[in-house]
């Protein structure tokens, strides 16, 4: 680490926790601080003051004149061009917040912002599973289904930062609800969606008098999680494997649409898929063979995300690096 060459700050804003990371252009993080967002107790102004206090302490250790830029990762909706946050669901009261202007005025360096899916896409592209590609799709496959697009070696955010909202695509007339739409990509392929699939499947079996090894009553069925299903599937439970098959086949359908439209080199999938690739992969491959253009499938690799739980630390830092270097 050579501070004289300059360093960057990454600001990660979540509904529960916020973090500040300091790192260099080689993606080496040398300091991180974290604090609770506490949105129910205080407005964004107070959260910003805590950010400022943490950054001021950091700048006592590392010279401010070597700070090259600040990158911010935050849930949408937001406007990356105007640097505005517009009422994210997990940040109540954050209405029309001119965040980049405020941080720029405070620290006198370039400040940029991207939604969290785009920020994570940058991280996986610059230093993770998509490194070296020119056309990459990143899918979160976590609580929801977010996406970030790298097209022709650039982040594609769309006209108003809604590029890549693939979770909204309808894959069936009905089914689990995601993104406010029954049968959506997010409905079938997210933690919340798998929980809905599991509840519906298990309740139906229990009402028929059948036994389900990982759940013995309807009340418990409504509390099932994707983690419970994945663990049961790893143990070769037939019912859990069937739930994974349904989700996996719809994942394959969704990927087929993306491959046909965007012709990527690589699709990187995080969270639930990354932890359970062996469960989902056979279903994906079967659907791709059936649904997608064969020559497009041949040049596209489906990969689990590499950065794991540390992706949040790198994502905001990569926003700063991307804006400075590309």
Residue 1 is predicted with a pLDDT of 58
Which position has the token pair 């630390």?
A: 313
Q: Which residues of 137-175 are buried (b: 16+ CB within 10 A; e: fewer)?
A: bbbbbbbbbbbbbbbeeebebeeebebbbbbbbebeeeb
Residue 90 is predicted with a pLDDT of 86
Same domain, 89 and 145: no
Same domain, 63 and 184: no
Would you say residue 124 lies in a domain?
no
CA distance 159 to 98: 19
β-pairing, 67-74 vs 7-13, is parallel
Same domain, 194 and 229: yes
Would you say residue 150 lies in a domain?
yes
94-142: pLDDT as tens digits? 999 999 999 999 999 999 999 999 999 999 999 999 999 999 999 999 9
**Residue 154, token pair as written in the block:** 């650039």
**Would you call 280 helix, strand, or coil by DSSP?**
helix
**CATH number, domain containing residue 14:** 3.30.420.40
**Would you call 198 helix, strand, or coil by DSSP?**
helix
CA distance 312 to 128: 13
Same domain, 151 and 36: no
CA distance 224 to 238: 16
Percentage of the chain surpassing pLDDT 70?
A: 99
Same domain, 258 and 187: yes
Residue 4 is predicted with a pLDDT of 63
Same domain, 279 and 134: yes
Would you say residue 121 lies in a domain?
no
| Residues 6+ positions from 108 with CB-CB distance below 8 Å | none
- Low-confidence residues of the chain: pLDDT under 70: 1-4
Residue 3 is predicted with a pLDDT of 65
Task: Give the domain extent around 89.
Answer: 3-115+310-325
Provide the domain count of the chain.
2
Same domain, 269 and 318: no
Same domain, 98 and 136: no
133-179: pLDDT as tens digits? 999 999 999 989 999 999 999 999 999 999 999 999 999 999 999 98
Same domain, 172 and 211: yes
Angle between helices 226-234 and 238-262 (to 10 degrees): 110
Q: What is the pTM of this model?
A: 0.93
Residue 2 is predicted with a pLDDT of 61
Please, what sign has the CA dihedral across residues 62, 34, 51, 98? positive
| Residues 6+ positions from 298 with CB-CB distance below 8 Å | none
255-265: pLDDT as tens digits? 999 999 999 99
Longest CA–CA span in the chain (Å) reads 70
DSSP letter assigned to residue 257: H
């Amino acid at each position: 680490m050579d501070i004289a060459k300059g360093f960057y700050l990454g600001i990660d804003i979540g509904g529960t926790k916020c973090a500040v990371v300091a790192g260099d252009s080689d993606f080496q993080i040398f300091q991180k601080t974290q604090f609770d967002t506490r949105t129910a107790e205080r407005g964004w102004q107070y959260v910003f003051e805590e950010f400022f206090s943490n950054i001021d302490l950091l700048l006592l250790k590392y010279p401010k004149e070597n700070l090259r830029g600040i990158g911010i990762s935050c849930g949408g909706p937001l406007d990356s061009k105007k640097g505005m946050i517009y009422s994210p669901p997990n940040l109540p009261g954050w209405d029309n917040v001119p965040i980049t202007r405020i941080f720029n005025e405070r620290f006198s360096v370039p400040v940029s912002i991207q939604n969290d899916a785009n920020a994570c896409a940058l991280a996986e592209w610059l230093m993770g599973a998509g490194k070296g590609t020119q056309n990459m799709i990143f899918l979160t496959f976590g609580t929801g289904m977010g996406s970030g697009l790298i097209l022709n070696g650039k982040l594609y955010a769309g006209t108003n930062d809604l590029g890549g909202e693939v979770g909204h695509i309808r894959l069936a007339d009905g089914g689990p609800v995601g993104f406010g739409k029954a049968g959506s990509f997010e409905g079938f392929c997210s933690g919340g969606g798998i929980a809905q699939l599991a509840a519906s499947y298990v309740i139906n079996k229990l009402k028929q008098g059948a036994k389900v090894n990982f759940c013995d009553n309807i009340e418990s069925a409504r509390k099932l999680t994707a983690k419970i299903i994945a663990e049961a599937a790893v143990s070769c439970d037939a019912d859990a494997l069937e739930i994974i098959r349904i989700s996996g086949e719809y994942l394959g359908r969704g990927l087929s649409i993306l491959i046909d439209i965007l012709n990527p080199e690589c699709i990187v999938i995080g969270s639930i898929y990354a932890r359970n690739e062996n469960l989902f992969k056979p279903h994906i491959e079967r659907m791709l063979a059936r649904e997608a253009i064969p020559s497009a499938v041949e040049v596209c690799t489906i990969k689990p995300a590499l950065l794991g739980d540390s992706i949040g630390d790198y994502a905001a830092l990569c926003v700063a690096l991307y804006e400075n270097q590309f």
